[in-house]
Amino acid sequence: MSEKDAVERRWSIGELARASGTTVRALYHYDEIGLLRASERTASGHRRYTEGDLRRLYRVRALRALGLSLEEIAGVLADSPDDLETMRALLAAQLHDLEDQAGRIDRLRQRLHGLLGKLDDASMPDTDQFMMTLETMSVFETYFTQEQQDQLAERRADLGPAAVEEAKARWVDLVGELLPHVQADTPVDDPRVRDLVSRWDALGSAFHADGEQGERTKAAAQRMWDDNSADLGRRLPWPADQMVALVAYVGRVRQAS
Amino acid sequence: MSEKDAVERRWSIGELARASGTTVRALYHYDEIGLLRASERTASGHRRYTEGDLRRLYRVRALRALGLSLEEIAGVLADSPDDLETMRALLAAQLHDLEDQAGRIDRLRQRLHGLLGKLDDASMPDTDQFMMTLETMSVFETYFTQEQQDQLAERRADLGPAAVEEAKARWVDLVGELLPHVQADTPVDDPRVRDLVSRWDALGSAFHADGEQGERTKAAAQRMWDDNSADLGRRLPWPADQMVALVAYVGRVRQAS
DNA sequence: CTTGAACCTCCCGCGACGGGAGGTTCTAGC
DNA sequence: GCTAGAACCTCCCGTCGCGGGAGGTTCAAG
């Protein structure tokens, strides 16, 4: 009899919180949402938790430590009298979620690492420059999918930094030659501008992959320039409105051919 | 004049959302919290965003893509006219946060991986067994710090699974020899029980590190058993109430020596 | 019998929006 | 000028897992 009484212990909410390493507030919450209610109450309304409640709480805490939501926990603790398969599926799904998160966090880490490197270099002179880098990143993300960005980065790595710089320089030359035509409004079927634009396109093509994927990436780049020429142009050494006019003009030249 | 008008474009909220890859709702939110308000309104109250607003939005999006909170973003966009150091500190802190998260996620992944492995083995017969494993994990986490658990795991790895199994078997033998004494209530200073308990303690010591750290881990294990002998005992092949009595008895024997 | 700790219920708060209700305004076609 | 439908406006409730406080009651020890 006394042995039985010793085993059938009851816990107040504070005792349970201390015994399980949670807080009283969390236990109120579990009670509210029906995840873990005290099996008994005293006459005055104080919660009395039984040993069964304590065991349930340990299960709840263990499953939460695995990252499951309270709703998922309520699910497995309720509907699976001995359904291991439900549990397996839930844990597998949870693992899959975590792999996803780990991937995202890793990409973010690399980005932050790169940015911090740039900040430590002398290569980043002021906040404005840095912000412009960020803006450009943001615009890129709006127009290119993750895979497309990876492709572009890979392509740049293949070509090597020297080739990229040379392409940039040649592109600057092209812009320099084209701007006067824009201002003079040279007819869009003039062989001189057609030649310049075809060299322009060839220059861009070097950065895209071959085949259908490359075409889609090119189309995305085109949309980006059409929508944002004013904004992207600000990053360049010419007045933004001239760049807007230039992009529009180049588009008309392409259409004419 | 007409050129200026062309440059000073305005965007409606929907246009801005499409141009930046966000949602109208998010823009309302940014307006509400003062992070990005439309510089102008039409006579009827519709928002008109200027090019400056668009640029600010790109910055906001870029910083959000790095995982910064809207509050942090408002901070750097407001108080740093050209303060690169604030930015650097913020990004460094963010990177540190991410490292933390990556660590937690990695540990969770390993745990989930291990659990799924056990589920796929024939080693996990039913849900109840599995839940008990989880409960035990939960209790361990309540009483041992992360480092202490790592230490214990390392120690077990050092000893090797064969030694661990042998220790378990010898401990089972000890319990088998001690239980009759508990039931008979053999005096706690009887040399036979003192010998049994000292062998018990020696067995446990093999799993703890030497020095002060090991002592703290032992103390934590002691607290765990004292608080939870009924619950932990259920996992063992003897009745739970006998285990409770046993733990209490062993405690008295230790005190007597 | 008192006092302080523990307990009770009810309610607001976070962060970054999503989504809906219920109303007004813009825009294109007739 | 009229109408329909798209776009816009403001206000408000919901998310998830509690934290924290107000304002009151009950318990346990001295």
Question: Over the stretch B173-185, which tens digit does the pLDDT of each residue have?
Answer: 888 888 889 888 8
On the question of pLDDT at B7 being above 60, the answer is no
> Which residues is B11 bridged to in the sheet?
B49
Q: C-alpha distances in angstroms, A159 versus A156, A162, A206, A244, A250?
A: 5, 8, 9, 29, 26
Task: State residue B229's pLDDT score.
Answer: 67
Task: State residue A136's pLDDT score.
Answer: 79
H/E run at residue B205: helix B191-205
Of A8-12, A221-225, B60-64, the least confident: A221-225
Nucleic acid strand D within 7 Å of A184 CB: no
**Taking a C-beta distance cutoff of 8 angstroms, is the pair A67, A93 a contact?**
no
Minimal Cα–Cα distance from A189 to chain B, Å?
Answer: 24
Which of A98, A229, A241 best probes binding to B when mutated, by most B CB atoms within 10 angstroms?
A: A98
| Inter-chain residue contact A135 with B6, CB threshold 8 Å | no
The model's confidence at residue B17, banded by pLDDT at 50, 70 and 90, is: very high
- B75 vs A129 pLDDT, higher one: B75
Minimal Cα–Cα distance from B246 to chain A, Å?
Answer: 13
Identity of the residue in A102, A113, A241 whose CB atom sits nearest the CB atom of B102: A102
Task: For residue range A130-156, list pLDDT tens digits in order.
Answer: 787 887 777 777 778 777 887 888 888
Task: For residue range A5-50, list pLDDT tens digits in order.
Answer: 445 789 999 999 998 889 999 999 999 999 999 999 999 999 999 9
| Inter-chain residue contact A61 with B3, CB threshold 8 Å | no
- How many residues are present in chain B? 257
On the question of pLDDT at A2 being above 50, the answer is no
Nearest-angstrom CA–CA distance, B68 and B83 = 17
Across A67-73, average pLDDT: 95
Instruction: Using the CA of B45, give the nucleotide whose C1' is nearest.
Output: D9
Percent of chain A with pLDDT over 70: 90
On the question of pLDDT at B231 being above 70, the answer is no
Nearest-angstrom CA–CA distance, B136 and B157 = 19
Q: How far is CA A60 from the centre of its chain?
A: 31
What residues contact residue A229 under an 8 Å CB cut-off, 6+ apart? A243, A244, A246, A247, A248
Nearest to B60 by CA among B101, B21, B8, B99: B21
Nearest-angstrom CA–CA distance, A21 and A18 = 5
Task: State residue A114's pLDDT score.
Answer: 87
Nearest-angstrom CA–CA distance, A107 and A114 = 11
CA-based nearest residue in chain B for residue A142: B21
- The distance in angstroms from the start CA to the end CA of chain A is 100
DSSP 8-class letter at A227? H
On the question of pLDDT at B154 being above 70, the answer is yes
**Taking a C-beta distance cutoff of 8 angstroms, is the pair A13, A47 a contact?**
yes
**C1’ D28 / CA A14, Å:** 15
Task: For residue range A85-137, list pLDDT tens digits in order.
Answer: 888 889 999 999 999 999 999 999 999 998 888 888 766 667 777 787 887 77
Identity of the residue in A91, A112, A230 whose CB atom sits nearest the CB atom of B94: A112
Minimal Cα–Cα distance from B86 to chain A, Å?
Answer: 10
| Inter-chain residue contact B6 with A99, CB threshold 8 Å | no
* Any B CB within 8 A of A179 CB: no
On the question of pLDDT at A188 being above 60, the answer is yes
On the question of pLDDT at A172 being above 90, the answer is no
Residues A185, A190, A195, A198, Cα dihedral to 10°: 70
B87-117: b or e for each residue (b if 16 or more CB lie within 10 Å)? bbebbeebbeebeebbeebeebbebbeebbe
Per-window interface: A 137-176 vs B, CB < 8 A: 137-139, 141-142
Nearest-angstrom CA–CA distance, A24 and A26 = 5
